Amino acid sequence: GVVWADRRVGGVEPNDVRYGSYASDLTTSGEIVVSRSAPAQLYPELSESSTGFMAVWAEHESGQRRVMMQRLNGDGTSLDSPQVIASDPNLGTPSVAFDGTRHLVVWSDSEGIAGQRFDPSGSAIDASPIRIMEGFSAEVAAMGGKFLVVGLDFTSSIHFLVPFAARVDGETGAVLDASPMIVAPYFTRSVRVDRFGNRWLVTWQRHWSHDETSAEIGAVFVDGNGQLHDLVSAASYGRIGFGIGPDVAVSGSTALIVWRTGRLASTDTDLIGQLFSPDGTSLASFTLSAAPGKQARPVAAWDGEQYVVIWEDRREAETFFDERTDLYFGRVANDGTVLDADGLPLVSQEEPVGLPAIARSGSDILVAASFLRREAPDGNYRVGFLHGPAVATAPP
C-alpha cells in the first residue's frame, strides 16, 4: 500500500491523507481518505456581552473554512452550542465587538470584508451579511452605537498593502463611509482597534518596503465622524516604536499598546509596552519581557485593577526548530509599572498552545486560545477558555 498527502480538494486548506493498495501488476483496488482530522479551531476572539462573553473563531478543514460563534457565561462555560455564521473556502479570521445592545461579527471572504449583527441571545439581526468594504484581516471595535471596522487591502499591486477603515451604524447596519478611509501608508500589516474615551485607537505594524521584514509600530485616533488624528504630536502616522504584531487595550484613563521586537525570523524576541493618555501623550515605555527565546502574539486587556497581557512563549524550546509554544502572562499597573518581570506561566504543557485572546466583561476576565488535542475524535487544534484573573494554571 501507499500513503500520501493529497491536495485535490483545492481551496485554502486542501491537505488530506490518502491510502491506496496496489497488486504486483500495479492494479489498484481503490483509494480511501485516511485522515481529514477534526476541523482546526484557530484565531479565537472575544468580546464582552450582556450575558458574559461572545466568542468567535475560524474553523479550518480540508477544502472549507467556517466562522463560528458561541455565547459564554462570565466563567467561560457554554450558554449554547457553537453556530456557523459564514462558510467559504477563502474565509479570513473573524473579530467581534459589542456596543452595549448588539454584537457585530466581521470577517473577510472572496468578496471582501463582511459583517453581521447579533443580539445578546445570539439571534441574527441581519438576514444576510453586510458588505462593508473590500479587503481582508478584519477587526472591529464599538463606540457610541457605532462600530469601526478596520482591515487591509491592496492598492495598485500586491506589493502595496494599506489599512482601511469604515464605520457601521449599530442600530441600522448601514455602512457610514461609502469610501473607506486610509488609516496608514503602504506596507502595513497587523491592524488592531479598540475604543479609547470618545475616539477609536487604531494600531498596526508598518514595513519600510514590500519585502522588508523589520517594521515599526504606528497608531492613530479616529473620532466618531471618521476623522484621523495623530496619536503622537509631531510624528507622522503616530510612529511609536519598532516591532511586530501590536495589540491595544484601554483602562479608561490610559491605553496600552504592546508588541514584540525583532524581525520575522529573529531567534530572540522581547515584548515592549507603551502607555498613553487620552490626548495621545506618551506616559511610559517599558520592557514587559526580555526572557530567553521567542515571545510573540501579545494580547492585552484591562481587568479592572491592572492590565493583563498574554502571549505565546518559547523560552522552554529544546531546539531552535522547536515550534511548540506555551502561554505566559504579565501584569502592568495603570502607571506603567511592570508587576511580573518576564512574565509567569499560564499554560505550560507538552502539546503546543497558542493564538491567545483576552477580554473583560464586568468583573470577569476570560482567555481563549487554540490547544492541540491528540485524543480522538479531536486530533487537531481546539479552542478552549480559561477564567481569570490571570491566575488560571490548567487548560480546559
SS (H, E, C) 188-248: EEEEEEEEECCEEEEEEEEECCCCCCCEEEEEEEEECCCCEEECCCCCHHHEEEECEEEEE
Q: Which residue has the cell 441581519?
A: 126
Each of the 396 residues of the chain gets a pLDDT tens digit; together they read 777 776 555 554 556 676 777 777 667 666 766 555 678 899 999 999 999 999 999 999 877 899 999 999 999 999 999 999 999 988 999 999 999 999 999 999 999 999 999 999 999 999 999 999 999 999 999 999 999 999 999 988 888 899 999 999 999 999 999 999 999 888 988 999 999 999 999 999 988 888 888 889 999 999 999 999 887 543 445 678 888 999 999 998 999 999 999 876 777 899 999 999 998 888 999 999 999 988 999 999 999 999 999 999 988 877 766 678 899 999 999 999 999 999 999 988 888 899 999 999 988 999 999 998 887 766 788 999 998 644 433 333
Query: Measured between alpha carbons, how far is 81 from 385 in angstroms, rounded to an integer?
Result: 15
CA distances, 297 to each of 92, 181, 317, 344 (Å): 18, 27, 17, 16
Q: What's residue 232's pLDDT?
A: 59
CA 233-235-298 angle, 5° bins: 100
Phi/psi at 372 (5° precision): -75, 125
Q: 192 and 247 in contact (C-beta within 8 Å)?
A: yes
Q: 300 and 357 in contact (C-beta within 8 Å)?
A: no
| 270 DSSP 8-state letter | -
Cell of 40: 482546526
Q: 117 and 170 in contact (C-beta within 8 Å)?
A: yes
Q: What's residue 395's pLDDT?
A: 38
Label residue 156 exposed, middle or buried (CB < 10 Å: 0-12, 13-18, 19+).
exposed
Residue type, 279: D
Label residue 46 exposed, middle or buried (CB < 10 Å: 0-12, 13-18, 19+).
buried
Q: Residue 155 half-sphere exposure, CB side, CA atoms within 13 Å? A: 14
Query: Measured between alpha carbons, how far is 160 from 172 in angstroms, rounded to an integer?
Result: 33
Averaged pLDDT of the chain? 87
DSSP assignment of 142-186, as one string? EETTEEEEEEEEESSSTT-EEEEEEEEETTT--BS-SSPEE-S-S
pTM reported for the whole predicted model: 0.89
Cell of 154: 491592496
Q: Using one digit for the tens of pLDDT, what is the confidence trace for 61-96?
A: 877 899 999 999 999 999 999 999 999 988 999 999
CA 264-164-357 angle, 5° bins: 55
Query: Measured between alpha carbons, how far is 324 from 329 in angstroms, rounded to an integer?
Result: 17
Q: Which residue has the cell 502595513?
A: 188
The greatest distance separating any two alpha carbons of the chain, rounded to the nearest whole angstrom, comes to: 78
CA distances, 253 to each of 196, 302, 306 (Å): 8, 11, 12
| 36 DSSP 8-state letter | -
Cell of 137: 484581516
Q: Residue 359 half-sphere exposure, CB side, CA atoms within 13 Å? A: 27
- C-alpha closest to that of 290 among 271, 275, 274, 307: 271
Q: What's residue 1's pLDDT?
A: 72
Q: 292 and 250 in contact (C-beta within 8 Å)?
A: no
